Structure 1
Amino acid sequence: MADKLPTLHKDLLAVADKSRLTSAVNDVDSIIAQLLEARDSIAAGKSLSPGSSLLYTMSRFLMHGMRFTERDPHAASLILTKLQNPIKEGFENVNNDLKAVSKTQKEFGKALDRSFPVTPIPTEYDVMQKHPALINRAIVMHLLREGHFDVARVFMDEARDLASMTPDLTATYDHNGVDDSGEDAAWAADGAPSNSYETTNSTLNESGSLQGKFQRLYSILHDIKTHNLSPAIQWSRANSDALEERGSNLEFDLCKLQFIWLAKSQSHELLLEKYHADAAYDGEAHQNVPIGGTLGAGAGSLLGGFRDGMSAALGYARDNFDRFRERHPAEIERLAAALVFASNIRESPYATVFETATAFEDLAAAFTREFCSLLGLSAESPLYVATTAGTIALPRLIKYIGATRSKRTEWTSANEMAFETPLPASMTYHSIFVCPVSKEQTTRDNPPMRLPCGHVLAHDSLHNLAKGTKFKCPYCPEEGQIQDARQIYF
């Protein structure tokens, strides 16, 4: 498909040199100009007779479509008659322009079809066909994450009604006639519902409890975006133990931004502009004023704003930063030092400290991640991630299936991909280690093991190489004991 892009690019450049809607628009403007000119000509040569009544004038207007005087009743008809052929020719030009544009669009559409032929997607086997309730759950969770609570509730009500009328899908057969209900049985053995109706009801109850939590999330996010950090700070403080276990800095980041915002809360930039405007207006009046002297109304508001902002920020720091002094001493010192340069922060070494252009948006994203993590959920919607990853992998999958079918071979592995799919870094969640000896990917049952020499092998490969309790590293002459090998985690 990629090798056809240069040809498609040439076709696209050719479209730019062909007919466009500009010609049609120009022709329509020409028609409008002719009509306006005719209207002005008729109106300019006629005026109401002094003795004509309003009712009489309106009746003549309705009869002839134009207002005219008793002196020249045929002037309007003559002008409209002369206008017929130019207007007719103008409409023909517009139609020709539109036909040319339509022809160009069809030609480029054919070029698109040649470059991107429609390839049917294989649908012989759908691994999710037996789990409609799980698909519904993913959709509901996505709607809740996006804040569409009413839509999620209606969707679950309809899904529950449909599940009550649908036979149990746990004992279904695949397209080869093989009983494939083992996965559902294993899933039910773990304590989860074992049929579609029970799963739907369980999802409904779960979504009901999560809806209130996500509503609070969106309420706090709204407050953050409106520069009100108090609800977010209260939530992080109430969940400080859980956040501490995760090594999260969310509470400190919220308090730090609150400190910065308090220091800037008196609109320092606006006060600076007012002060400079007053100084320019008064000329020499504000120059060489001694400290403590009278600086005028603008400067007085400026200093008062600085005093109020610094006082509020310092008071907040005394009340809240003490709990963070062990983990973030350097940050706290930098914030305190920045206040000294508050009146000239842009020229100071601490200019970046008071920069809040994207601070609230970044903090809202961080708050969402931590909030979802405490609920045992990922920061991004799994449905969105799965759909995006599937869309990226789909072209390669179609090409692979086409190649295997041409060779009369079939892809039989339904639980894993037959090839690597390059995904963006944002979708890489778990590192993968392939044993250099067995060439197999490590798993939970066969984890990677670090040898005393620093080389890494799979657990099974290590035991296959060992003679009793001793082994020799296949990559260096060093020997070691199996008990000295340590499992590592990526």
Structure 2
Amino acid sequence: MNIKEGDPILKELDKLEFLFHNASTPALSSIKVKSPSIPSSLDALLSSLTDAKRQLDSGVSPNTVGAQISNAIDGRKKDIDERLKEVYNSLGRIGKTLEKKYPDPLPKYPPLFTSPQASAALDRVVALHFVRSGEFNVADIFIHEAHVDTTPNSMDQFVDMHRIVNALRRYDLDPALEWCSWNRDFLRSRFSPLEFHLHRSRYLTLLLKEADVGRALSYARRHFPSLYPDHALDIARLTNAVLFLPLERLAKSPYADLGAPSVHTSLESQFATEYCAMLRMSRQPPLRIVGDIGGGGALVRIEKGKKVMQDKKSEWSATEELPVGPPHIEIPVPPENRYHSIFACPVSKEQATDANPPMMLTCGHVLATESINRLAKNGGRVKCPYCPVESVAAPLRVFL
């Protein structure tokens, strides 16, 4: 479910949380209720009973004390009933808000994951999701109770990743820099700027937060020379920023971006990306991606497309595939989820391989190498099947 901050659903959930726990956080301080919380009402009743016992011990008439207790019980019961009424009303509003935001019902499918193999695969995905999200205690209990056969050392690998990510959150860069030194060849093979960004963060901390120009320049002389061939322009900007200190002046200079919080906060996601890449895994857990894309509108659009095709008496694919011709079904996804692991040539319909890699024509269209060779004319000119022009000039370049 794709819900953003400020959504009416979140507001109703906040109110429901307030009604249950009587939280006093700034985000919930504006919520108005008609009755005290249930714990407050019970505390008030307990105080009344304690006061009644004290009166009885002091010789007050039992009839008088009994009347007071009866009134106290009736009053607190009324308060609790009123609070429960508000809770039920809030639950009702949440249901109505959900129905208004998502008017189309969820699709109905036959029972899934019924075979032992599918069920075991689903359990592994859930367990790995807990591990990759840092919920190690939950993952350990789930793995034990569901008898999940996980990959050896997967828990230890992600414990180490979250240890370093938590250190970065505290502005402790040493564990991440140590990891980079151990995996420098891997990072260089990916042209990763992670190590430079870590040193940049520490340099700017010395320069801007601690206002120690001498230590900052000394740090730059010690660590930047080995990084200079790949980051010459960025290093020049970092050293030139000294001329625009203090921070108030830097904020009005061409180097204002160096003082942005993202210079430091982006390190966590950068490190997690490289760490997961070393393990040959995606940055985000697959279960989260499926939930974000599916709950973010994909299921609704697919079901709507199926309904339209049924109304038009068009046949849906026997293998439940999306239609390749009109009507097209476009699934909106965020930029970080726009990827495709396998390239299929639109001409030959074959998947690309190392021996038949995808190539990009100068017009921008991408075909497999074998298809390009079949379309090539004398002189290396290629007739693109998707362009109005008759031919596209060589050379071709590898599509990365």
With normalisation by structure 2, the TM-score equals 0.65
Q: Paired residue for 1:427, among 329, 337, 343?
A: 337
DSSP-derived class of the 2:289 partner: helix
The aligned residue for residue 288 of structure 2 is 384
C-alpha distance 125-414 of structure 1, shift in aligned 2 (>3 A):
farther
Q: Please say which of residues 136-145 and 373-382 is displaced more in the overlay.
A: 136-145
Q: Paired residue for 1:315, among 200, 218, 221?
A: 218
Amino acid at match of 1:372: C
The aligned residue for residue 122 of structure 2 is 135
The aligned residue for residue 272 of structure 2 is 368
Q: How does 1:333-412 map to 2 (within 5 A)?
A: 333-339=236-242, 342=245, 344-348=246-250, 349=253, 352=256, 355=259, 357-392=261-296, 393-401=298-306, 411-412=316-317
The aligned residue for residue 197 of structure 2 is 253
CA distance in 2, matches of 1:403, 1:220: 50
C-alpha distance 125-467 of structure 1, shift in aligned 2 (>3 A):
farther
Q: Paired residue for 1:65, among 52, 56, 63?
A: 56
Deviation at 1:366, TM superposition (A): 1.0
Greater relative contact order: 1 or 2 (C-alpha under 8 angstroms, separation 6 or more)?
2
Amino acid at match of 1:244: R
C-alpha distance 331-127 of structure 1, shift in aligned 2 (>3 A):
farther
Gaps in structure 1 of 5+ consecutive residues: 1-7, 13-19, 43-60, 163-199, 269-308
Q: Deviations along 1:398-438, whole A, 9 cap, x unmatched?
A: 444555667777644547434332222221123999999x7
DSSP-derived class of the 1:147 partner: coil
Q: Please say which of residues 248-257 and 144-153 is displaced more in the overlay.
A: 144-153
CA distance in 2, matches of 1:105, 1:380: 34
CA distance in 1, matches of 2:228, 2:342: 38
CA distance in 2, matches of 1:110, 1:157: 36
Q: Alpha carbon RMSD of aligned pairs, Å?
A: 5.2
Gaps in structure 2 of 5+ consecutive residues: 1-7, 13-30, 324-328
**Conserved? CA contact 2:383–2:392, under 8 Å:** yes
Q: Please say which of residues 466-475 and 326-335 is displaced more in the overlay.
A: 466-475
DSSP-derived class of the 1:262 partner: helix
Deviation at 1:346, TM superposition (A): 2.1
CA distance in 2, matches of 1:142, 1:29: 39
**Conserved? CA contact 2:342–2:352, under 8 Å:** no
Amino acid at match of 1:444: A
DSSP-derived class of the 1:380 partner: coil
Deviation at 1:330, TM superposition (A): 3.1
C-alpha distance 431-485 of structure 1, shift in aligned 2 (>3 A):
farther
Deviation at 1:120, TM superposition (A): 5.9
CA distance in 2, matches of 1:318, 1:99: 66
**Conserved? CA contact 1:432–1:442, under 8 Å:** no
CA distance in 2, matches of 1:226, 1:119: 42
**Conserved? CA contact 1:449–1:457, under 8 Å:** yes
With normalisation by structure 1, the TM-score equals 0.55
- 1:327 equivalent in alignment to 2:230: yes
C-alpha distance 210-80 of structure 1, shift in aligned 2 (>3 A):
closer
- Identical counterparts, % of pairs: 24
Deviation at 1:464, TM superposition (A): 8.7
* Aligned residue pair count: 357
**Conserved? CA contact 2:204–2:216, under 8 Å:** yes
DSSP-derived class of the 2:259 partner: coil
C-alpha distance 31-234 of structure 1, shift in aligned 2 (>3 A):
closer
Deviation at 1:369, TM superposition (A): 1.0
CA distance in 1, matches of 2:232, 2:365: 39
